């Protein structure tokens, strides 16, 4: 089973990299970009064939390693 | 005092930290990240600066979950002392031994220079060698030292006097100018500045030495 994990900073956590991207977009002439938030996407290829089990395992991976839940939230979706 | 200094792939201040402990007379054992146990009789664990595991995923994230990581968490759980400097601080928050997180510096730059710090509490073995309120000159060298915690955690840290060091002029955007924090039992300290790099006059500042002298006194046989 393949999954995509999206890890993003929680709302309210300052994202200086996103801000820098927003400024750069403005410099390129893209107007009206109110906000940019940067995150990461992680692809998982799991041996587990049971979708429910595989998704549960992916979520556990997020809790234990892939996301720092103090500052980040995550979303798991089938790829 | 027996100090265990851990080396991860990418650690680069492990030798400096070991030398600082040795200079005040501590017995130092160097520990490899794949080791699963700390040396018998370890009083304090030192987690050095550097870029453990290339800062992959998040700074300190992989090191915090390495084989020796479990032994460090168990050591802290038994009331043992742990000192995490720079990347070591990042590892400690990833281990959950200290609250909060260290984000990218607000100005997005890697900052490497000596900064002014104020000692906010002498109530820990790490800061017992300093008078509260004294100001120090200690180098920082980091890209991700912007300390953040939720409002409740921050209020708790302040209320319990667990902010050990504060920047005189905030270099990285840290909330409340926080440069170092203590655990609830005051036996785990994480700090971004490098006291081991301000140990002798030759370093330009010897203001960091009192931390190691203070620790040595704390563990002196009664």
The domain ranges of chain B are 2-218
Class of the CATH-defined domain B2-218 = alpha beta
Does ipTM exceed 0.90?
Answer: no
Alpha carbons within 13 angstroms on the beta-carbon side of residue A65 total 11
pLDDT given for residue B123 in this prediction: 97
| 3-class secondary-structure state, position A35 | coil
Contact flag B148-A71 (C-beta cutoff 8 Å): yes
- Residue B73 sits at the chain A interface (C-beta within 8 Å): no
Asked if the model's pLDDT at residue B24 lies above 80, the reply is: yes
Among B33, B120, B196, B203, the active-site one is B196
Nearest to A16 among B99, B104, B149 (CB): B104
Q: In the annotation, is B142 catalytic? A: no
CATH number, residue A63: 3.30.1280.10
Contact flag B93-A16 (C-beta cutoff 8 Å): no
**Considering only residues 8 to 47 of chain A, which have any Cβ-Cβ distance to chain B shorter than 8 Å?**
13-14, 16-17, 20
pLDDT given for residue B222 in this prediction: 60
Residues recorded for chain B: 222
| 3-class secondary-structure state, position A62 | helix
Contact flag A68-B94 (C-beta cutoff 8 Å): yes
Q: In the annotation, is B86 catalytic? A: yes
Domain of residue A67, residue span: 2-78
Q: What is the mean pLDDT of residues B51-65?
A: 96
Contact flag B65-A65 (C-beta cutoff 8 Å): yes
Nearest to B103 among A64, A65, A71 (CB): A71
Q: How far apart are CA B169 and CA B87, in angstroms?
A: 21
Q: How far apart are CA B103 and CA A16, in angstroms?
A: 9
pTM of the model: 0.94
Q: How far apart are CA B136 and CA B180, in angstroms?
A: 13
Contact flag B61-A65 (C-beta cutoff 8 Å): yes
Q: What is the mean pLDDT of residues B129-152?
A: 97
Query: What string of DSSP letters covers B100-127?
Result: SEEEPPTT---EEEEEEEEE----STTT
> How far B29 CA sits from the closest chain A CA (Å)?
29
Identify which of B92, B100, B116, B111 has the alpha carbon closest to the alpha carbon of residue B172. B111
Average pLDDT, chain B: 97
Q: What is the mean pLDDT of residues B105-124?
A: 96
| Tokens read off for B138 | 């200690």
The CA-based dihedral angle spanning residues A6, A59, A66, B85, taken in that order and rounded to the nearest 10 degrees: 130
Count of structural domains, chain A: 1
């Amino acid at each position: 089973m393949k999954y995509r994990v999206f890890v993003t900073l929680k709302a309210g956590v300052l994202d200086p990299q996103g801000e820098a991207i927003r400024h750069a977009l403005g410099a390129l002439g893209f107007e009206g970009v109110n906000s940019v938030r940067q995150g990461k996407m992680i692809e998982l290829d799991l041996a587990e064939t049971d979708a429910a089990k595989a998704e549960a395992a992916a979520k556990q991976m997020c809790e234990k390693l892939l996301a720092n839940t103090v500052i980040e939230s995550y979303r798991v979706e089938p790829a | 005092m027996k100090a265990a200094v851990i080396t991860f792939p990418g650690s680069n201040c492990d030798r400096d930290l070991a030398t600082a402990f040795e200079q005040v007379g501590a017995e130092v054992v160097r520990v490899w990240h794949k080791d699963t146990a700390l040396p018998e009789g370890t009083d304090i664990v030192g987690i050095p600066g550097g870029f453990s595991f290339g800062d992959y995923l998040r700074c300190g994230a992989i090191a915090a979950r390495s084989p020796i990581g479990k032994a460090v968490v168990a050591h802290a759980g038994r009331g043992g002392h742990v000192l995490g400097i720079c990347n070591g601080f990042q590892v400690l928050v990833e281990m959950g031994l200290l609250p909060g997180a260290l984000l990218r510096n607000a100005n997005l730059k890697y900052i490497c220079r000596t900064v002014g710090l104020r000692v906010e509490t002498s109530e820990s073995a790490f800061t017992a060698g300093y008078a509260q309120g004294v100001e120090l000159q200690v180098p920082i060298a980091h890209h991700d030292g912007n300390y953040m915690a939720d409002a409740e955690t921050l209020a708790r840290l302040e209320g319990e006097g667990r902010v050990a060091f504060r920047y005189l002029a905030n270099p990285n955007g840290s909330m409340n100018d926080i440069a170092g924090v203590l655990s609830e039992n005051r036996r785990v300290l994480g700090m971004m500045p490098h006291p081991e790099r301000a140990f002798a006059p030759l370093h330009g500042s010897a203001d960091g030495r009192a931390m190691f002298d203070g620790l040595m006194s704390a563990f002196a046989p009664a």
